[in-house]
Amino acid sequence: MKLKTALLGAAASLALAPAAFAERGADGHVNIIYWQAPSILNPYLSSGTKDIESSSLVIEPLGRYDEKGNMVPYLAEDIPTVGNGGVADDLTSITWKLKPGLLWSDGSPVTSADVVFTAEYCMHPEGGCAQLAKFEGVDKVEAMDDLTVKVTFKEPKPNPYGPFMGGQSPILQKAQFENCLGAKAPECTDANFSPIGTGPFTVTEFKPNDVIQMVANPNYRDPAKPAFATLTFKGGGDAAAAGRAVLETGEFDYAWNLQLAPDVLAGMAAAGKGEALSAFGTLVERIEMNMTDPSPNLPEGERSTAKHPHPFLSDLRVRKALSMAIDRNLLVEVGYGQAGRPTCNLVPAPELYASDNTDCLVQDIEGAKALLEEAGWTDTDGDGVRDKDGEKLHILYQTSTNAVRQDFQALIKQWWTEIGVETELKNIDASVFFGGDPGSPDTFQKFYADVEMYANNFDGTDPEPYLAQYGCDKAPTPEKQWQGENINRYCDPAYDELLVELSRTGDLEKRGEIAKKLNDMLTKESYTVVALVDRGRVSARSNTLGGVILNTWDSELWNAADWYRMK
């Protein structure tokens, strides 16, 4: 079966909430809580989920993925396919048509010029776009008329749905952002904090790393939506406080990403104020190995860059030993219960793309010790910490502040201690860690540590843009305002060549084979990405909030326009 054949099919229709709204704003106020507080409302300047999802209430893409992974139109009239003429027969272009009559929240018309500009904004060579992988292989983006946009690829693109699809690639208003190109992008505070959008809500106040106040967009395309007149998006705190606020006290209507131990979550739900929602997608908790040297003794601007390879993590044997020492089954038991599965894969789903890599699932402490011995790391002075050439095997291990992640850190530190690795733990407020501030030393993009742990996933069901994030050119650097998706600075020309092959391959089975090989290069052959847990997404809604459809393939807030108050 070829992907071109699949493209002949029409996109699935959007599942709407079973509610008929009398009028926009009739249901008053809704409260949302994300314990990771947004630091910016521009996903092109941050790959943090909390920034992408909060932004999705305001700015929207041409199309989204629904809760089943189907593509559905949003600002576009329909999803372009070969069958409807939107995708060229030779797969070298895709043509999108905007819905007529769309308005920005300021009342001005949405046109193809805004879409073209969005591509220019992200693809600017000095911009350090956090979503650049979405535009992989794009040659040019043209406005054919006021409502028609053509994306042309440098060569046939079997999966042409990278640009402008999903919450990671929304449309920006040209008039607001046109003076914010390249290196100027982070400096446009007003635009980045209060984007003019087409979504159901518009920002009235944004306090970074704290709270966002929104009101219903008066120019939203459906005159009966959203049902809520106002919205508060509260950030910060921790997952436990967020869960209690919905499930126990009813103070909030929706809580995201309840990364809590199973017994804790069950105890909260027993209060009867709301219900926990869960679904599996592609969210993987992992440890990223820094392939570059983060030493503070290096000149600023050279730390964690390709100018200085990591002094010991550059050795495959060390990276593999660290992975072998981890008991993933115990991590699942302690942290997630039924909402987690041990995994060795960066791409755990869909089945077509999921490798059968299971090598990491059995802990091997003795094997890890033997590998470190082979690499020349021995305990010469008997203090329990291995050393080599006068240097101790010391690791700085950082992650965001969260009870489950700190439990994971404690367990992994214990296992690494058993194999002779001294481990220093650091946790950083999630708003800072996942923020995009190029001046902060504590962002996960800057990676001023030896290893760091977090979870990530990809929009839709095709992992090509996700795997493309590990291309050599995607590494964050000072020249790119420390933006970029290749967090661990992995660089393998063979990997890049295989990415090109994936981008050219239309046969679905062959695409699956290539994607599995790319996954294995990262996780099984190089151990630069150490996958831990395939995490089910767990969030919660109050008993009075209707219309919520948990979506693991796009922003969780993808259908907030359809939410309503249950009487």
pLDDT at 22: 64
Q: Where are the beta strands (DSSP E) in 258-298?
A: 274-289
Place of tokens 């000149």: 299
pTM attached to this predicted model? 0.76
CA dihedral 315, 317, 318, 320 (to 10 degrees): 120
DSSP string, 516-547: HHHHHIIIIIS-SEEEEEEEEEEEEEETTEE-
User: What is the DSSP code (8-state) at residue 234?
Assistant: E
State the CB neighbour count (10 A cutoff) for residue 424: 12
Using alpha carbons only, what angle is made at residue 349 by residues 346 and 350, rounded to the nearest 5 degrees?
145
The pLDDT of residue 10 is 33
Encode 138-198 in three state secondary structure.
EEEEEEEECCEEEEEECCCCCCCCCCCECCCCCCCCHHHHCCCCHHHHHHCHHHHHCCCCC
Give the pLDDT score at 483. 87
CA atoms lying within 13 Å on the CB side of residue 494 = 9
Q: Report how far residue 58's alpha carbon sits from residue 194's, in angstroms, rounded to the nearest whole number.
A: 9
Cα–Cα distance between 330 and 315 in angstroms, integer? 27
CA 250, CA 265: separation in Å to the nearest integer?
15
Residue pair 399/427 in contact (Cβ under 8 Å)? The answer is: yes
Task: Identify the pLDDT of residue 459.
Answer: 80
Q: What is the pLDDT of residues 130-157, one digit of tens each?
A: 999 999 999 999 999 999 999 999 999 9
Question: d(Cα 497, Cα 439) in Å, to the nearest integer?
Answer: 34
Note the pLDDT tens digit of each residue in 25-83: 999 999 999 999 999 999 999 988 999 999 999 999 999 999 988 899 999 999 999 88
Q: Can you tell me whether residue 309 is helix, strand or coil?
A: strand
Structure tokens at 476: 């964050």
Give CA angle at 242 (241, 244), nearest 5°.
Answer: 65
- Which token pair is 394? 């010391």
Quote the CA–CA distance of 331 and 335 in Å, as a whole number: 6
pLDDT of the residue at 3: 42
Residues of the chain short of pLDDT 70, as ranges, are: 1-22
- Is the CB of residue 321 less than 8 Å from the CB of residue 377? no
The SS3 of residue 424 is strand
State how far the Cα of 128 lies from the Cα of 126, in Å rounded to an integer: 6
Query: Cβ neighbours of residue 350 under 8 Å, at least 6 residues apart?
Result: 69, 461
| Residues in Cβ contact with 445 at an 8 Å cutoff, skipping those fewer than 6 apart | 47, 130, 436, 476, 482, 483, 484, 487
Per the structure block, which two tokens stand in for 520? Answer: 């294995």
Burial 180-196 (b: 16+ CB within 10 A, else e): beeeebbebeebbbbbb
CA dist 39 and 400 (Å) reads 14
CA gap 167, 171 in Å, rounded: 10
Rg (Cα) of the chain, in Å, rounded? 23
